[in-house]
Amino acid sequence: MKIINLSKWFIMMLLLLTLTACSSYDTLLEEPLQAKQETAAVSIEINPKINEKANAPSDLDEIAVKYVSAYDADTYTFQLINSNDRSKIKSLSKNNKNTIKVRALLVDASEIKGKDDKPEPFAIEARDAARELLEQASNISLSYDIGARTDHYDRNLMYVKVDGILLSIPLLEEGLLQIAYVKPPNTKYLTEYEKAQEIAKAKNLGLWSLNYK
């Protein structure tokens, strides 16, 4: 009888130890799981903020336009393709609300009417080259920089792209424009313009053949 009772006692103690060990193991498993769940919740709160920033409207959105005219190689008139883009334009023409006048950022062209109303060197060549590029372009777009949006003549200070290429780049490369009116923070494409101008300088093209400043 004593042997049987001892056997029962030994079995009961073994079962009790087994149950205790299992309970402790379950607790250890639950704690990391809870920690992982808390970490995931934090990530979900952060990600929407990142997405909102990425999808936020940009002030530098490009605006599709049609070419109307070029007074010279840095001053143009365009017509909005989408009338809904009016709200994006700082200065609209008083006579036609879909027409805007643009002064190209960061560059200057020779004056069509200089002293005695005569064209300055390369003024006609530069204007004609700009006209040709604009007339042949399939797509033309405009964009502001992050600084001033109009000049003292109420012209829109913008970058002009023809088929995805900055219009001023090829004109600078040929020495038909020169970098001017650099007024931070409107300097988004200044580095690209400087590289283009150096090409003309190195080859003594256009204005640089005359040491024009």
Q: Distance between CA atoms of 65 and 191, rounded to whole angstroms?
A: 26
Side chain identity at 65, as an amino acid letter? V
Q: Distance between CA atoms of 157 and 149, rounded to whole angstroms?
A: 5
At residue 147, the pLDDT reads 97
Q: Distance between CA atoms of 146 and 187, rounded to whole angstroms?
A: 9
Q: Distance between CA atoms of 105 and 45, rounded to whole angstroms?
A: 41
At residue 16, the pLDDT reads 59
Task: Judge contact between 103 and 77, C-beta under 8 A.
Answer: no
pLDDT tens digits, one per residue of 3-23 = 445 455 555 666 555 555 444
Q: Where does 56-177 have alpha helices with state H?
A: 123-136, 168-173
At residue 96, the pLDDT reads 82
At residue 61, the pLDDT reads 84
At residue 51, the pLDDT reads 33
Stretches where the chain sits below pLDDT 50 are 1-4, 6, 21-59
